[in-house]
Structure 1
Amino acid sequence: MDSSKRSGKRLPAAAASAAATAARWNDRHNPIEKAKHWLWVIVRTVLVTGICFVILYPILTKLSIALRNKQDMFDATVVWLPRHLTLENIQTVMDYLRYPEAVTNTLLLSIGTSLLQLVSCALAGYGFARLRFRGSGLLFGIVIFTIVVPPQTIMVPTYLHYRFFDVFGLYGLFTGSKGVNLLESFWPFFISSGLAMGLKNGLYIFIFRQFFRSLPKDLEEAAYVDGAGIPGTFVRVMLPNAAPGIATVLLFSFIWQWNDSYFVNLFAPNYTLLARMLDLLPGAVRPEYVGGISHTSLYLNTGILLGIMPIFILYLFAQKYFVESVERTGLVG
């Protein structure tokens, strides 16, 4: 009796499975369904290929120009593949920009500011997310407001602040001078980044605040029960669980600092790679390198290709972690 009941229960399930299998087989072998499937595959392939071409077109163009000989610039038949392949342009631009020195300076500046912004913005984001005090909402609103304020509006006071740098007037009080000149160095970047007032720091504070708010409060309460204070909870509990937010802020900070030209030209001109690349603009290249004003675009495209190459290499290795970290920090969806 029991076996008959069990077999009775198995038969409908087996019949449903067989029916589903037959339906899938019919869908695969139905001419209309096959046509729909392959039509969607073709449309999807065309769309993806077109989008990829639009994105890669500037890079492919600059790569083609960088590998051309000067006489190919006047050959109308040369579109993508150079007729006279050469690496002379790359070597010329690297010598002109002092490429190894410029890349080293840019790396030191980008890594230093990224680490300082990570520490300062993580502390500020944790305070806004977990610590409640009077005026916290107003202060966070001011932080968000700094994201939309153009830096050009405070260019003059910012420049004068670091030209005559002083802390509460103490340096001038003891020395009698107007302050210390921090221009032509990386100190303005490091000081502003360490105080959460650097490039795009309002956005980084917002990212950390959103991420810390998403963590369960049970973690903090358990740490408080074990005797950990606010600093200990932040270092031992919150930061280890904030790896996606840390990766997002580090990548954003590094890339934006690498591509920055405004603050670099304001505080330390001709130090970084992008600042020196401005010398490749039309009319700025020295005659001994140009060989004629018509060749300026050739060197400019070559310099841009060399400038984006380190970022392109970084993206190849870090794009998986970057996409995952952005998804978990609440910036999308």
Structure 2
Amino acid sequence: MKNKPSIHTPELALYLFGKKAKKGVQSVFLFCIITGLCFTILYPIIKLIPSVFSAIEDLGNPNIIWLPIHFSVISFKAAARFVMEDGFLTMLWSVLYALGIMFIQVFVTAMAGYALARVKFFGNKIVFFLVILVFLVPRQSLLLSQYIYFTHFNAFGILKLFTAAGEVNLINQPITLVIFAVFGFGIKQSLFIFIFSQFFKNIPNELEEAALIDGCGFHKTYFRIMLPNAIPAISTIAVLSFVWNYGDTYYTRYFNKDGPYLSSILASKFNPANKEFILNAIKAWFDVPVATDFAFDAVKQAAVLIFLIPLLILYFGAQKWLVENLENSGLVG
């Protein structure tokens, strides 16, 4: 028998080596890119460490770059006293507010998106155009009319039947924010309607037809068939709604400025006009001889980190589930 020729020729070995080398170079390049992007994103947070964890006396020391010389949590204690006057309840009320508005927005926008996507009625395209228009129009341009309307709120004249004045002032009342969410004018609510509409358009018609054959009516089909299939879109919009409402300072500032919202408290307390008051309070509370502008910035940054706690819990607690649902919703990829 003749010996079979070996397939391990120098040309093949050189080809395999070149392929492995190319793959290795690509991996190193990708690793460097990812590492650089992560550092760029995390750099502002890393720079907070020597500021928020340093003693008040060490703030502004040019020798402190990455790690504090004397570790201290005074900045967090001061921040908590400024922005959480009722302790943990302040954050709890903010979270409950964001959750409540989130549930309303998801419920309302899901129905509106389903109606625009699957129900054929006269003026369907016009309504869809108006939804997009509301999203494109800056909300600041509607502020004056909205403020006047809620200052003299009359509920389409219905209140004339129950009150002598025929109107009530709903400015600085939490019900105003609920009304915004119910009627589709909450934070980015037109965007949520658009997302639901696009999602329901991609669901096969056979599901509705099968439900109709099984005796399901319009409402039963929506709640039993369509809504469970929209879990990816629901979870995506729920997360966006919670994050945006929790951090909102626009609607809360103009329509319920005295509400227990951590975002509004944070914005008002650390206004530059209050700098001297905050610095004097730090010196009095913690027996600090000197408190400079660096102390003001450190306490403000610590307050921001306290504000981010619920969002960090949401992210780290449901990271994998959220990423999967974002991908299934069609917003990424």
Q: Quickly say closer, same or farther: Cα 1:110–1:275, change in 2 above 3 A.
A: same
- Offset of residue 196 of structure 1: 2.1
Q: Match of 2:24?
A: 38
Q: Match of 2:40?
A: 54
SS at match of 2:272: coil
Q: Match of 1:133?
A: 121
Structure 1 segment 217-232 matched on structure 2, within 5 A:
217-232=205-220
* 1:251-297 per-position Cα deviation (integer Å, ceiling 9, x unaligned): 01000101111111011224211111111132324243244451211
Counterparts of 2:194 and 2:318, CA distance in 1:
22
Which residue type is aligned with residue 185 of structure 2?
Answer: M
* 1:47-95 per-position Cα deviation (integer Å, ceiling 9, x unaligned): 1111001111122222331111112222101011011110111011101
Match of 2:262 among 246, 263, 273: 273
Does 1:289 find its partner at 2:281?
yes
Counterparts of 2:20 and 2:211, CA distance in 1:
59
Which residue type is aligned with residue 302 of structure 2?
Answer: T
Counterparts of 2:37 and 2:282, CA distance in 1:
35
Q: Match of 1:323?
A: 323
Which residue type is aligned with residue 63 of structure 2?
Answer: T
Structure 1 segment 1-333 matched on structure 2, within 5 A:
30-98=16-84, 99-270=87-258, 271-278=260-267, 279-285=269-275, 286-287=277-278, 288-291=280-283, 292-294=291-293, 295-333=295-333
Which residue type is aligned with residue 273 of structure 2?
Answer: G
Counterparts of 1:27 and 1:138, CA distance in 2:
66
Q: Quickly say closer, same or farther: Cα 1:140–1:290, change in 2 above 3 A.
A: same
CA RMSD of aligned residues (A): 2.3
Counterparts of 1:111 and 1:31, CA distance in 2:
57
- Offset of residue 31 of structure 1: 4.2
Identity of aligned residues (%): 31
Counterparts of 1:56 and 1:313, CA distance in 2:
17
Counterparts of 2:318 and 2:135, CA distance in 1:
26
- Offset of residue 115 of structure 1: 0.3
Q: Quickly say closer, same or farther: Cα 1:165–1:69, change in 2 above 3 A.
A: same
Q: Quickly say closer, same or farther: Cα 1:202–1:241, change in 2 above 3 A.
A: same
Please give the TM-score of this superposition, normalised by the length of structure 1: 0.87
Which stretch shifts more, 181-190 or 208-217? 181-190
SS at match of 2:169: coil
Counterparts of 1:188 and 1:236, CA distance in 2:
32
Which stretch shifts more, 296-305 or 166-175? 166-175
* 1:21-43 per-position Cα deviation (integer Å, ceiling 9, x unaligned): x79xx669954344323322221
Q: For the Cα contact (< 8 Å) 1:93–1:299, is it kept in 2? A: yes
Which residue type is aligned with residue 101 of structure 1?
Answer: L
Please give the TM-score of this superposition, normalised by the length of structure 2: 0.87
Count how many residue pairs are aligned between Structure 1 and Structure 2. Answer: 313
Counterparts of 1:325 and 1:247, CA distance in 2:
7
Q: Quickly say closer, same or farther: Cα 1:273–1:34, change in 2 above 3 A.
A: same
Q: For the Cα contact (< 8 Å) 1:281–1:300, is it kept in 2? A: no
Q: For the Cα contact (< 8 Å) 2:49–2:68, is it kept in 1? A: no
Question: Larger % of helix: which?
Answer: 1
Q: Quickly say closer, same or farther: Cα 1:82–1:27, change in 2 above 3 A.
A: farther
- Offset of residue 185 of structure 1: 3.0
- Offset of residue 173 of structure 1: 4.3
- Offset of residue 147 of structure 1: 1.1
Which residue type is aligned with residue 281 of structure 1?
Answer: N
Counterparts of 2:21 and 2:226, CA distance in 1:
53
- Offset of residue 240 of structure 1: 1.0
Which stretch shifts more, 32-41 or 235-244? 32-41
Q: For the Cα contact (< 8 Å) 2:49–2:66, is it kept in 1? A: no
Which stretch shifts more, 134-143 or 99-108? 99-108
